[in-house]
Amino acid sequence: MNCRGDANVTPAAVAAIEFDAAQIAAAVSRLASEIIRDLRGEPVTLIGVLKGALFLTADLARALPPATDADIDFLVVSSYGEGNRSSGEVRLLKDASASIEGKNVVIVEDIVDNGLTLQYLQGLLGGRNPATLRSCVLLNKPYRRCVDVPLDYVGLTAPDTFIVGYGLDYQEKYRNLPYLARLHERVFE
């Protein structure tokens, strides 16, 4: 063990690993293949939704064939606040930096739960006249969907429980976990 602790020890708060790093990598690879198939050789703009999609956006971009004409942008929204339930109020904390007019845009989201965040982003970005606007989500969590949002690319179906890791947080912690995990109930008490 070094001064930072044993790298193989899971945090005490983690109850179970729902998807390990290999399962996530396989899903990301498949998402990249599907995006490439639909682009038919045209350029693409990936817009990562921070903070949750920080790792997904980076891994997805690198899973595209190196010859892909791709650019990457980010925006920051927040809807969950500090708890483990979405507040239902989507706030744009930082907009993307470049025009998307005439571009093939893929919104890159870590998770879609009630759907309000993605619905908001599809409205916001759709109003900026992209050539195409598609949605790529690593985790589809369909159990409490309250709006009908089109998902063009879906990596995995989330369990009906609160999960963290690979960008997803609980009170800003656990984003750094290389897997997707369920926390012990006592963490939320």
Binding site for ligand PRP (CB under 6 A): 49, 51-52, 77-80, 86, 109-118, 169
Q: How far is the CB of 116 from ligand PRP (least distance, A)?
A: 4
Which CB atom, from 5 or from 123, has the smaller least distance to ligand PRP?
Answer: 123
Min CB(167)–ligand PRP separation in Å: 7
Describe the strand order of the beta sheet including 104-112 as a list of residue ranges.
91-94, 70-78, 44-50, 104-112, 132-140, 153-157
CA distance 133 to 125: 8
Minimum distance, C-beta of residue 34 to ligand PRP, in the bound complex (Å): 20
Helix or strand run (H / E) with residue 124: helix 116-126
* Residues that are catalytic: 113
Residue with Cβ nearer ligand PRP (36 or 151):
151
How far are the Cα atoms of 68, 73, 180 from residue 41, in angstroms, in the given order?
Answer: 8, 20, 32
Residue showing the smallest CB distance to ligand PRP in the complex: 52
